[in-house]
């Protein structure tokens, strides 16, 4: 519909509502029946509410039409982004290529936020819950209409299936002659028919109100599409039913007293409670306590009993997770109403916010009010209620009128107490939290799909057979998100889109049915599911596509994943393909058997190896490229790291063959080969050679240019595509070797590698002398424990130098499929070692025993920032200082293609000279340049970005979200997103707006607002210039970045220790443990040990 048609349609809806109001008013004047008058008044009230909503939509449509006819870009979007060299974009450069300081506030939007010339200015997020939408007096009528259209459409489809099943039962009992069972089934069929009529009536009511425009106040409900959200809950539900009102009672005889009304409460289709019958629509004492066990939804049905059978007159569905979310919000509101904290958009109204000026005292803070206890360990800014913080929190209940469908309302009082294993006090302040990582499931490969078992917490539809998966486990491809039943995944024979064309078998059977779908945008106002990923489609036109020929529906981002089988169901296509494959296999086996019967074996003839066996054997031809040539002067660390990072483990036979081949003299100069090996030691890729989304190099190594590169220039990425086009991905030719990309390390080592190399045996002798092992150390104390091992303080027996050694059990690494993660951690250490970055923890050596691997790291004895913030609140200057050093560490990681993903106070160590060191690289991800994405669910709950929780692909902007949470914690001594368990924290991240003290400086609020932006493309630091956006913000206006990098700025705090081995800055829970290695009973096989080949390493500076 174009604009004029839409406006005319809305006008007709308004006129219809006015006519209904007029008719209702006339009826009210013509009757004296109080029940009829009450019902008419409710109709008039609803009609006026509908008219107000429709008139608002009319104004929105008229404004939109005016802008389209004569608008300019300035009327539609925000200010244009400043040029790259604009002073508001980045500060002046210092000696070390760091700006001297920010010169003003950043623009209101991210510089590269939205390339569209008419991009709308993002509006403030509406602050309502799903429970708010089903309340009778909700002001959010637009989102409610969209929610109810989806819910009613789904409930109607389920009820229709239920009715069809009952009708089959009626016929079955009729054939068997079972009158009692037939009468019971007939009663259920009648009730099902009545419910269907109610659902159709309610659906028509919302369809009549729906206006087909994309509204800013009704964003897609992405939380329903996330496998990590909306989990079934277990706990105690308490409910009190007070009254119903404005319902359409069932018709009764003229002389009867009226129908008796009662309510039935069901949890997952099981009756849990039933009220007494009443004739005045009120109940005095109807309270119920229900034990909930992994349930999703409560259903309330209002019945009238006027004849032999009860008649349903109203229905309500409430998700238990929405009750829990509403209670969590009420707890926060109750606590913060007394504190005077407000959201960022309300700070300007009070006018009390001020700028951060350089003259503010070192100890200034904007955390607790003077009545608080900022120095008390474990107490955040909410501890300022005096003695109230020690009292039990008041009981939170939900008491409101909820809308019944199709008409009426019910007054309920509810509360839900979740059953939690690890409940943490709501107002405990800051404390330690471990990181979580999505457990790697068993992968079932089928036609390139990598199917893993996935538990779904909403209604899904199988992409193969089209049947529903209702709150059940299914199979989902880890690459393309194809979703189906467990029983269906073996039948899938259409290949995964992530499988490139050259990877497919040329003899693979294909259907000649190549009719592409004609996907067009459509307005989704009913329950439709994506034919690929199986999720429910969101409302509106923004993300829904439908084929104009076969009416197949899918997400806009799934259209390129749907096979060209228009007019044919996926199940039929897969059956045809199965038949073709089975027939071909039968013919092939028949021809092989006939060929064997006609063949005679000739003695003494040379054996002919089978083609299949040849394909599985090791290559006999010497490998070409960098790894087939002996470098003349690689360092020991280069050889070790290159072997570990890029070469696959060889069997003893293959290793012997490789040793024989290495005796052949090289035919080409070894300079470039040695450089490649040195680059492989760091495991880096340059931005110019960023890998494709599939992780394959864009060029074969033979075509790689000589390493003549300029230093890192973020402006080169301004036109970098966010995703490589599918055509480009499919044309990539496979390279037989991993490409060693050029880096700064190659530039530095090239002159050395041109020199004459000593004999290889001398290198081996030197390496043997410096090989580090377990017998070189004495363990003194335990500093911490993690998932797979622990960190211990150790000293060398010879020099008495202190080191922190991270000890990981090989058995646990293999069991949890963390071998590659452990190797990646080592490669990230090598990146940190490359320039000895001042704010990154350095690695001195790696070694292994039969049962464990060891990382020998520098020992930082000042403790971590979590310990220090629990001892006392940081002032503004101290928080600014630590934030600046962390920012430079993240900048270095991102410049080297690494995202950190586990930034938190626990992982930031404090040196004895007062500077920070970031530690623990276990969750780092390599090859993440600008535009690169990954999708692993990992991180520490309070620091995880919304895009991770929504199971979206994400990039390095997640580090800047965590950076915002970190600054918030350092400034206010509490987390911006809190909850009693992980699920509540996740809900807070997705729904809550961070709150700030009313007197907090404006620049501090501004940087937190821009870093804690839920849309990653609008977040500060998300552009191609990355950290430069953050460094140029006004919060860092007084920071000289060159001085920060070279440690010329005096630290605001110096930790103290009594002796070099003093561990008082570490948790006594760990330091009190005896530092011994517990014996490991299991014995690893040779194949398991091969997984750790090449792990050992010794740094040049060790």
What pLDDT is stored for residue 72 in this prediction?
A: 44
CA 267 to the chain's CA centroid = 30
Binding residues for ATP: 806
Say which range, 205-214, 573-582, 726-735, 881-890, has the weakest mean pLDDT. 726-735
| CA–CA dist 1041, 91 (Å, integer) | 10
CATH classification at residue 1008: 1.10.510.10
Alpha carbon separation from 1076 to 778, 781, 788, 792, 849 (Å, rounded): 10, 9, 15, 9, 15
Please check whether residues 346 and 494 belong to one and the same domain.
no
Beta strands in 268-333 (DSSP E): 270-274, 287-295, 297-305, 310-319
Least confident of 81-90, 211-220, 922-931: 81-90
Question: Is the model more confident about 765 or about 148?
Answer: 148
Q: Does the pLDDT of residue 640 top 60, yes or no? A: no
* 401 and 465 share one domain: no
Domain assignment of residue 549, yes or no = yes
pLDDT higher than 70, residue 343: yes
Average pLDDT, stretch 1078-1099?
Answer: 86
The neighbouring-strand residues paired with 413 are 240, 399
- Residues 478 and 533 reside in one and the same domain: yes
Residue with tokens 């003290």: 997
236, β-bridge pairs = 291, 417
User: Mutual orientation of helices 3-29 and 34-70 as an angle, nearest 10°?
Assistant: 160
What is the chain's alpha carbon radius of gyration, rounded to the nearest angstrom? 34
Do the domain assignments include residue 204?
A: yes
Q: Dump pLDDT digits (tens) for 389-437.
A: 444 455 788 999 999 999 999 999 999 988 876 555 555 567 667 666 6
911 pLDDT band, cuts 50/70/90, is: very high
Residues with Cβ < 8 Å from 385, sequence gap 6 or more? 338, 339, 371
Q: How confident is the model at residue 655 (pLDDT cuts 50, 70, 90)?
A: very low
Which tokens is 1059 given? 């002796």
Residue 816 in any domain: the answer is no
478 secondary structure, DSSP code: T
Task: Please check whether residues 184 and 252 belong to one and the same domain.
Answer: no
Structure tokens at 881: 């200082």
Mean pLDDT of 448-477: 81
Structure tokens at 938: 């990992």
Residue 1026 located in a structural domain: yes
Band of pLDDT at residue 231, cut at 50, 70 and 90 = confident
Domain total for the chain?
Answer: 4
Torsion of CA 901, 905, 908, 914, to 10 degrees: 150
* Number of neighbours of residue 834 by Cβ within 10 angstroms: 17
| End position of a domain, from candidates 542, 577, 612 | 577
pLDDT tens sequence across 659-674: 444 444 444 343 444 4
pLDDT tens string 562-585: 888 888 877 777 778 778 878 877
Q: Looking at the structure, do residues 457 and 508 belong to the same domain, yes or no?
A: yes
pLDDT surpassing 50 at residue 1065? yes
Query: Among 61-70, 399-408, 844-853, 856-865, which stretch is predicted with the lowest mean pLDDT?
Result: 61-70
Instruction: Using pLDDT thresholds of 50, 70 and 90, give the confidence band for residue 614.
Output: very low
C-alpha atoms less than 13 angstroms from C-alpha of 1093 in its C-beta half-sphere: 14
Alpha-carbon distance 704 to 446, whole Å?
35
Q: Which residues of 287-319 are buried (b: 16+ CB within 10 A; e: fewer)?
A: eeebebeebbbbbbbbbbebeeebbbbbbbbbb
| Domain annotation covers residue 911 | yes
Q: Is residue 1029 within 8 Å of residue 106, measured between CB atoms? A: yes
Residue 438 banded pLDDT, cuts 50, 70, 90 = low
Which two structure tokens, joined as six digits, stand for 626? 């960098």
Of 577, 607, 636, which marks where a domain is finished? 577
Bond before 406 cis per omega within 30 degrees:
yes
Residue 1074 lies in a domain: no
- Tell me, yes or no, whether 228 and 191 share the same domain: no
Task: Supply the pLDDT for residue 198.
Answer: 93
Q: Does residue 699 lie within any of the structural domains?
A: no
The residues, any chain, with a CB within 8 Å of residue 507's CB and separated by 6 or more, are: none
CATH code of the domain containing 354:
2.60.40.150
Query: Does 164 have pLDDT greater than 70?
Result: yes
Q: Which residue has the higher pLDDT, 1068 or 793?
A: 793
What is the C-alpha to C-alpha distance for residues 20 and 1, in angstroms, rounded to an integer?
26
Largest CA distance in the chain: 114
One domain, residues 184 and 232 = no
Helix (H, G, I), strand (E, B) or coil at 265: strand
**Rounded average pLDDT over 886-900:** 95
Tokens 């965590």: give the residue.
962
Task: State whether 178 and 234 are in the same domain.
Answer: no
CA separation for the pair 461, 91 (Å, rounded): 52
Q: 269: buried, middle or exposed (CB in 10 Å: 19+, 13-18, 0-12)?
A: exposed
Q: Mark whether 192 and 294 lie in a shared domain.
A: no
Task: Tell whether 1069 is covered by a domain.
Answer: no
Between 116 and 1034, where is the model more confident? 1034
Provide the residue range defining the domain that includes 117: 3-212
Domain final residue, candidates 186, 212, 238: 212
Amino acid 562: pLDDT: 87
- What proportion of the chain, given as a percentage, has pLDDT over 90? 25
Average pLDDT over residues 774-799: 86
Distance in angstroms (rounded) separating the CA atoms of residues 218 and 194: 32
Catalytic residue numbers? 902
Residue 717 CB partners (closer than 8 Å, separation 6+): 687, 929, 930, 931, 1024, 1025
Dump pLDDT digits (tens) for 248-273: 888 776 666 778 899 999 998 899 99
Contact between 531 and 482 (Cβ < 8 Å):
no
Do the beta carbons of residue 789 and residue 798 sit within 8 Å? Answer: no
H/E segment holding residue 1075: none
Residue 229 and residue 204 in one domain = no
**Percent of the chain at pLDDT above 70?**
67
**Residues 254, 140 within the same domain:** no
Tell me: pLDDT of 4 over 90: no
State which H helix or E strand residue 226 sits in. none
Residue 562: other Cβ atoms inside 10 A: 24
| Domain shared by 322 and 204, yes or no | no
Q: What is the pLDDT of residues 979-1004, one digit of tens each?
A: 888 888 888 898 888 989 888 899 99
Report the chain's mean pLDDT, rounded to a whole number: 74
> When comparing pLDDT for 1091 and 435, which is higher?
1091
Binding-site residue numbers are 806
What backbone phi and psi angles, to 5 degrees, belong to 272? -110, -25
pLDDT tens by residue, 797-848: 888 899 999 999 998 888 888 899 899 999 999 999 999 999 999 999 999 9
Residue 497 sits in a domain whose CATH number is: 3.30.60.20
pLDDT of residue 128 exceeding 60, the answer is: yes
Query: Which string of DSSP letters, residue by residue, matches 148-211?
Result: HHHHHHHHHHHHHHHHHHHHHHHHHHHHHT-HHHHHHHHHHHHHHHHHHHHHHHHHHHHHHH--
C-alpha dihedral (177, 179, 182, 183), degrees to nearest 10: 160
Inform me whether the pLDDT recorded for 312 exceeds 70.
yes
Cα separation, 456 vs 465, whole angstroms: 17
Q: How far is CA 988 from CA 224, 630, 991, in A?
A: 15, 56, 5
Quote the pLDDT of residue 745: 38
> What percent of the chain is helix, strand and coil (3-state, nearest 5)?
40, 15, 45
């Amino acid at each position: 519909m174009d604009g004029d048609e839409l406006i005319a349609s809305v006008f007709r809806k308004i006129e219809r509502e006015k006519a209904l109001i007029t008719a209702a008013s006339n009826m009210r004047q013509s009757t004296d029946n109080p029940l009829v008058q009450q019902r008419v008044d409710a109709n008039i009230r609803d009609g006026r509410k509908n008219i107000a909503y429709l008139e608002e939509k009319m104004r929105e449509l008229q404004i939109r039409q005016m802008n389209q006819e004569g608008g300019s870009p300035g009327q539609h979007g925000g200010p244009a982004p400043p040029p790259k060299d604009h002073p508001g974009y980045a500060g002046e450069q210092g000696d070390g290529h760091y700006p001297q300081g920010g010169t003003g506030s950043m623009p209101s939007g991210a510089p590269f936020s939205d390339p569209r010339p008419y991009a709308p200015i993002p509006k403030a997020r509406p602050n309502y819950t799903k429970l708010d939408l089903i309340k009778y007096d909700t002001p959010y009528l637009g989102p409610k209409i969209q929610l109810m259209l989806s819910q009613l459409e789904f409930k109607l489809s389920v009820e229709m299936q239920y009715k069809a099943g009952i009708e089959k039962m009626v016929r079955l009992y009729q054939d068997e002659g079972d009158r009692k069972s037939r009468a019971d089934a007939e009663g259920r069929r009648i009730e099902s028919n009545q419910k269907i009529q109610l659902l159709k009536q309610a659906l028509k009511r919302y369809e009549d109100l729906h206006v087909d425009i994309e509204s800013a106040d009704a964003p897609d409900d992405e939380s329903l599409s996330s496998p990590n959200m909306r989990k079934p809950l277990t706990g105690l539900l308490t409910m009190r039913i007070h009254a119903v009102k404005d319902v359409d009672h069932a018709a009764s005889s003229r002389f009867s007293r009226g129908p008796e009304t009662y309510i039935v409460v069901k949890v997952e289709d099981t009756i849990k409670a039933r009220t007494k019958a009443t004739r005045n629509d009120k109940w005095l004492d109807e309270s119920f306590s229900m034990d909930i066990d992994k349930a999703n939804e409560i259903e309330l049905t209002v019945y009238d009993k006027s004849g032999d059978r009860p008649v349903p007159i109203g229905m309500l569905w409430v998700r238990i997770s929405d009750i829990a979310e509403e209670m969590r919000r009420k707890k926060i509101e109750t606590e913060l109403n007394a504190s005077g904290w407000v959201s960022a958009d309300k700070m300007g109204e009070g006018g009390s916010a001020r700028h951060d000026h350089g003259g503010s005292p070192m100890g200034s803070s904007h955390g607790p009010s003077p009545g608080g206890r900022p120095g008390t360990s474990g107490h955040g800014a909410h501890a300022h209620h005096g003695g109230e913080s020690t009292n039990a929190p008041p009981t939170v209940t939900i008491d409101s009128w909820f809308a019944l469908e199709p008409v009426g309302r019910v007054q309920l009082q509810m509360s839900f107490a979740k059953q939690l294993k690890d409940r943490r006090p709501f107002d405990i302040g800051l404390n330690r939290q471990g990181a979580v990582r999505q457990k790697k499931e068993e992968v079932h490969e089928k036609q390139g799909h990598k199917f893993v078992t996935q538990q779904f917490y909403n209604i899904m539809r199988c992409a193969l057979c089209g049947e529903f998966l209702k709150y059940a486990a299914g199979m989902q491809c880890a690459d393309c998100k194809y979703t189906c039943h467990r029983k269906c995944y073996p039948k899938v024979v259409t290949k995964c889109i992530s499988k490139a064309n050259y990877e497919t078998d040329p003899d693979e059977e294909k259907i000649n049915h190549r009719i592409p779908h004609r996907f067009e945008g459509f307005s989704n106002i009913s329950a439709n599911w994506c034919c690929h990923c199986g999720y429910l489609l969101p409302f509106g036109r923004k993300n829904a596509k439908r084929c104009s020929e076969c009416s197949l529906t899918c997400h806009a981002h799934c259209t390129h994943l749907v096979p060209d089988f228009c007019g044919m169901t996926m199940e039929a296509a897969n059956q045809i393909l199965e038949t073709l494959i089975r027939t071909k296999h039968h013919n092939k086996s028949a021809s092989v058997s006939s060929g064997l019967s006609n063949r005679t074996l000739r003695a003494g003839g040379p054996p002919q190896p089978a083609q299949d066996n040849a394909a599985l054997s090791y290559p006999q031809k010497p490998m070409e490229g960098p790894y087939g040539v002996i470098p003349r002067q690689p360092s020991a660390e280069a050889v070790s790291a290159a072997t570990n990072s890029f070469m696959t483990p060889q069997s003893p036979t293959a290793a012997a063959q490789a040793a024989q081949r290495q005796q052949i003299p090289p035919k080409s100069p070894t300079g470039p080969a040695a450089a490649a090996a040195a680059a492989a030691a760091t495991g880096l890729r340059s931005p110019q050679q960023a890998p494709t989304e599939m992780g394959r190099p864009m060029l074969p190594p033979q075509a790689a240019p000589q390493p003549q590169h300029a230093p890192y220039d973020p402006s080169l990425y301004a036109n970098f595509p966010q995703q490589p086009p599918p055509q480009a991905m499919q044309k990539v030719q496979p390279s037989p070797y991993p490409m060693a990309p050029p880096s700064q390390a190659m530039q530095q080592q090239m002159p050395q590698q041109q020199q004459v190399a000593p004999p290889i045996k001398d290198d081996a002798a030197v390496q043997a002398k410096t090989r580090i092992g377990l017998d070189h150390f004495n363990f003194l104390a335990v500093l911490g424990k993690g998932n797979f091992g622990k960190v211990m303080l150790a000293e060398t027996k010879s020099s008495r130098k202190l080191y922190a050694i991270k000890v990981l059990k090989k058995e646990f690494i293999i069991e949890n499929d963390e071998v590659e993660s452990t190797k990646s951690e080592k490669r990230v250490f090598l990146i940190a070692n490359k320039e000895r970055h001042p704010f990154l923890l350095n690695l001195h050596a790696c070694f292994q025993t039969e049962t464990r691997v060891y990382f020998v790291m520098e020992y930082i004895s000042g403790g971590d920032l979590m310990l220090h913030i629990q001892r006392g609140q940081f002032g503004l200057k101290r928080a600014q200082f630590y934030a600046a050093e962390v920012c430079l560490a993240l900048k270095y990681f991102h410049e080297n293609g690494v995202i950190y993903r586990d930034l938190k106070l626990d992982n930031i160590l404090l040196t004895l000279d007062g500077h920070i060191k970031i530690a623990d690289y276990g969750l780092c991800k390599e090859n993440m340049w600008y535009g690169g994405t990954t999708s692993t669910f990992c991180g520490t709950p309070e620091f995880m970005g919304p895009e991770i929780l929504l199971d979206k692909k994400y990039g390095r902007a997640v580090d800047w979200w965590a950076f915002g949470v970190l600054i918030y914690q350092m400034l206010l001594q509490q987390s911006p997103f809190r909850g009693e368990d992980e699920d509540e924290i996740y809900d807070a991240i997705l729904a809550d707006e961070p709150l700030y003290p009313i007197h907090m400086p404006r620049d501090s609020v501004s940087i937190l607002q821009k870093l804690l932006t839920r849309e990653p493309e609008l977040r500060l630091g998300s552009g191609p210039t990355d950290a430069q956006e953050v460094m140029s913000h006004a919060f860092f206006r007084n920071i000289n970045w060159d001085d920060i990098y070279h440690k010329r700025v005096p630290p605001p705090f110096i930790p103290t220790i009594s002796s070099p081995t003093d561990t008082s800055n570490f948790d006594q829970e760990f330091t009190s443990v005896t530092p011994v290695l517990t014996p490991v009973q299991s014995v690893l096989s040779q194949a398991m040990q091969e997984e750790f080949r090449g792990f050992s390493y010794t740094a040049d500076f060790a």
